[in-house]
Amino acid sequence: MPEKNTRSYDIVVFGATGFTGRLTAEYLARNAPADCRWALAGRSQEKLESVRNGLADVDPSLADLPLLTADVTDADSLRAVAESTRVVITTVGPYLQYGEPLVAACAAAGTDYVDLTGEPEFVDRMYLDHHETAVASGARIVHCCGFDSIPHDLGVLFTVKQLPPGVPLTIRGVVRSDAAFSGGTFHSALHQFSRARHLQRTAAERKQVEPRPEGRKVRTTAGKPHKDAELGYWLLPLPTIDPTVVKRSAAARDDYGPEFTYSHYAGFKSLPYAGGAAVGITAVMAAAQVPPLRNQLLKRVPQGQGPSEQKRAKSWFTVTFVGEGGGERVTTRVSGGDPGYDETAKMLAESALCLAFDDNPATAGQVTTAAAMGENLLDRLSKSGISFTVV
């Protein structure tokens, strides 16, 4: 197995022919440093060549960008990809269906790995099956490097840095957006909703074996629907992976204080909007339990497609945090453009660049963005146009 510093590439984008994979490759074409050695990987040589032709329009020097054919059903091809590079980016989901072979290959090869999954069962299963292998090889397996869950994970880190050290901290996050969800996110969510028992069982298995922080308390609270008097929004608890990611970061970092509590919500300007969202989420969760209904929903929202560049340019997101500790209170905000595609591609690419080129904390195994890259990634994203501010 080649040492990392002798490998052919710094970064390989796996799934580069998909919608988000192509956007990620385009971001690298515009923003990767000149000495970054990178390649595209996917099942179809013809489609990879089409993506490369588009990248050459951005930067003519990419006309000869290396192309690697690999498939999630071919372990040898995935091993070859993992052993050829220092970092793998993958956009191939739903990850519970297609993700594990690449995680296994990277964990075995000591190759750093980033994805954009928001699937709790997949993340927990990968911890159970591949964390120890990655620890032994030195691989950093970093899930949730898109809108799930970087704005929330790094937004909480940014908020913690504004509060006194060494005191109990309580933070709540409120996300708002006008963007359409991606087809991949919808497919992943439906599959997870249909596997509630499996999800709970896998989470319980992980809880039994995962170490807890010593001498500190870290927790999340679901909260109840209510109106936030300070922010003026109606809040609904969100059934996403984001609070869990934040909790794991808090467990890994002592600077989150001796006691840390986080709650996570969607924010709405009016009660009717909040009520409509609650009814919609409940209906989708119920439909996911009935295979014919689930299949109809999956057909109506196809994967691999996304909104036009013009529509994405009009989209936005904010995540507002209210933090309290040591008698002080602070309000912060993370904001950016289209969360499901453009900003997710940016976050994913910058995460890979951060792992490849920055002086990060010494970590290995399955780690969160705040634990693996922390302030380095926060700085990168700030410079790339995602705003982290004290309100």
Check residue 232 and give left, alpha or beta (phi > 0: left; psi -120 to 50: alpha).
left
The answer to whether 194 and 288 are in contact (CB under 8 A) is: yes
Instruction: Spell out the alpha helix ranges (H) of the chain.
Output: 19-31, 45-58, 75-84, 95-98, 100-109, 120-137, 150-160, 183-193, 196-209, 242-252, 271-287, 291-300, 309-313, 342-357, 369-372, 374-383
Euclidean distance between CA atoms 343 and 335, whole angstroms: 10
pLDDT at 269 over 80: yes
Sign of CA pseudo-dihedral 158, 161, 163, 166: positive
Check residue 298 and give left, alpha or beta (phi > 0: left; psi -120 to 50: alpha).
alpha
Q: Identify which has the larger pLDDT, 187 or 387.
A: 387
Structure tokens at 325: 């500790």
Euclidean distance between CA atoms 385 and 374, whole angstroms: 17
State mean pLDDT over 72-93.
97
Distances (CA, A) of 344 to 24, 350, 353, 360: 8, 10, 14, 21
The confidence score (pLDDT) of residue 313 equals 86
The answer to whether 72 and 101 are in contact (CB under 8 A) is: yes
The confidence score (pLDDT) of residue 182 equals 64
The SS3 assignment for 220 reads: strand
pLDDT at 1 over 60: no
Sign of CA pseudo-dihedral 196, 202, 208, 212: negative
Of the listed ranges 1-10, 46-55, 91-100, 106-115, the one predicted with least confidence? 1-10
Q: The domain 4-147+342-384: what is its CATH number?
A: 3.40.50.720
Q: What is the pLDDT of residues 287-317, one digit of tens each?
A: 777 788 777 777 776 766 677 788 888 899 9
Q: What is the pLDDT of residues 117-161, one digit of tens each?
A: 999 999 999 999 999 999 999 999 999 999 999 999 999 999 999
> Maximum CA pair distance of the chain?
60
The confidence score (pLDDT) of residue 303 equals 67
Strand order in the sheet with 38-42: 67-69, 38-42, 9-14, 85-90, 112-115, 140-142, 365-366
pLDDT confidence tier of residue 205, bands split at 50, 70 and 90: very high
| Residue-averaged pLDDT of the chain | 92
Distances (CA, A) of 164 to 260, 302, 333: 13, 47, 18
Helix (H) or strand (E) segment spanning residue 226: strand 226-227
Q: Identify which has the larger pLDDT, 179 or 60.
A: 60
CA 177 from chain center: how many Å?
Answer: 17
The pTM score is 0.93
Q: What is the pLDDT of residues 222-257, one digit of tens each?
A: 888 899 989 999 999 988 899 999 999 999 999 999
State mean pLDDT over 349-374.
98
